[in-house]
Structure formats: structure tokens, C-alpha cells
Amino acid sequence: MSDFLQRVTTVKFREIQARMRRLPPAELRARIQDCPRPRDFVAALRAAAGVALIAEVKRASPSAGDLAPDLEPVTLARIYQAQGAAAVSVLTDPTFFRGHPVHLRRIRRAIRLPVLRKDFILHPYQVYEARLWGADAVLLIVAMLSQETLSELHDLALRLGLTPLVEVHDETDLARALALRPRLLGVNNRNLRTLQVDLGTTERLRPHIPKTIPLVVESGIHTPEDVHWAARQGATAILVGTALVQAKDVAAKVRSLVQAGLLATAHA
């Protein structure tokens, strides 16, 4: 594990322990009994007429620092929905992404699209949290988890009605992910050790991913041409954050990527 991932792991376990003291696991599990049923994340992506857009609410990132520190999460999510996004990804990590759980809660109540909790999920407690906060899907990063923990978190998410987005970065990750028979697979073009982006990651891994598994291409998507490229890789969806939150006209940027997904599929 890289120094960055080790630092993330240390910080996240401290956060989890602090939240467990505030809301014990037994009480957390009891509270989710009254939560609304999760929305079907995969169905929403498949229902898109073209390459679906998962639009991300993202104030900062470890690689770029502050991106849009003053963005209003609910306003942004409503723009995403109005302009044709299929789903919304919400950062809940406060340390590395300047996210917050309240962003997810408020967005889930404000829009009809399914919502992904994007965070460094390392412990079952976080999956139960995601359910309580209103998430419909959770991100599981293979490189950060042992196979035993990955399987445990994947199975728990499914039992709670959540969609696990299983994220891979290389061939080793992919082999471990495929052992789960995932409902949804993400290829992140960002190297978690160097934080550099290489679209060749998707090109290298795509031939080894069964076409029956919906594919989400993550990182490095900025333009309509990038969307056309993702379509050629057989992507079901793209996950885009930085290009949207830094756009001068967010609505126009969302429309351009959604339209590119429609055109790319039509000409496939």
C-alpha cells in the first residue's frame, strides 16, 4: 500500500472510531430500519439512452487541492439532474475531499436520481452509515481492502439494498473484483500511488472485463471526445467530477457530456 493510501487508512479509522462513540453500531443498525428503500443504481445507468453520466459533487481532491470550495451541494445536484445526469456521486470524506455526510443527506432528499456515497470505505460501520444517510450505492476500492474485507463489505452492501461500485486500478485489482461477480465495476484511470491519470488503464483492462458487467470509467473524462472514447471502450457510464465543478457554466458542461454520450452510442 502506498504512503498516501496508508495515510488515508489511518485517518479513516480514527474517524470511524470517533463516530462509533457518538452513535454506537447497534443504534446505527436500528435506525436504518425506518429508512426509505434504496433506488436501483444500476437500473438508472442502464436506463440512460447513451453512456450514462454519474455527476460528482466535489469540493476538493488530494491531487488538485481546492476545486470549488464554495459550491452549494444541493444546488449543484439539482443542476445535474435537470441537465440529464443519470446518477449523482457525493463525496462524504471531510479530510481529503472537503465533503460531509450532510451533503449526501440533503441531496438524497432534494433529487430523484440515485446517489453514490464516495468515500474510503474500510469498515462495515461505514456501509450502515451510507444506508442511514440515504445512499443508494457505495464505492469499494479494491486496492485498499483485503479480499476478506472486500467480500464482507460487498455482501453487506447487497444485503442492505445498496449497489457496490467495485473500483479497480490494475490487473491484480481486477482479478480480485471479478471473484465477487460484481453488479457494477469501475475502472479508475488515476493511479492511487502516484495520483496521475492514464486513460490507458481502461484500455488495458477492458478486454478482461466480461461485457455482462456494467463498466464505469472514472477519472480523466473532461470533453465530449473523452466520452466518445469511453463509449468505444464499452462503458455503461462515466463518473465525472473535476470537469463539472470547475466549469464556468456547469449546466452547459453537463449537457455537452450527456449529449456526447447519446451521439457516441448512436454511432457505435
Catalytic residue among 12, 58, 61, 189: 58
Residues in the chain: 268
219 is catalytic: yes
Catalytic residue among 61, 118, 189, 253: 118
Q: What is the 3-state secondary structure (H, E, C) of 124-185?
A: HHHHHHHHHHCCCEEEEEHHHCCHHHHHHHHHHHHHCCCEEEEEECCHHHHHHHHCCCCCEE
- Taking 3-state DSSP, the helix, strand and coil percentages for the chain, each rounded to the nearest 5, stand at 50, 15, 35
218 is catalytic: yes
φ, ψ dihedrals at 60, nearest 5°: -155, 170
Q: Hey, how many other C-beta atoms are within 10 angstroms of the C-beta on 213?
A: 15
248 is catalytic: no
Which of 214, 190, 184 is CA-nearest to residue 202?
A: 190
118 is catalytic: yes
CB 76 within 8 A of CB 59: no
167 is catalytic: yes
Catalytic residue among 61, 89, 167, 253: 167
Catalytic residue among 12, 15, 61, 188: 188
Catalytic residue among 12, 15, 56, 89: 56
Distance between CA atoms of 56 and 234, rounded to whole angstroms? 21
Instruction: Indicate which residues carry an active-site annotation.
Output: 56, 58, 118, 167, 188, 218-219
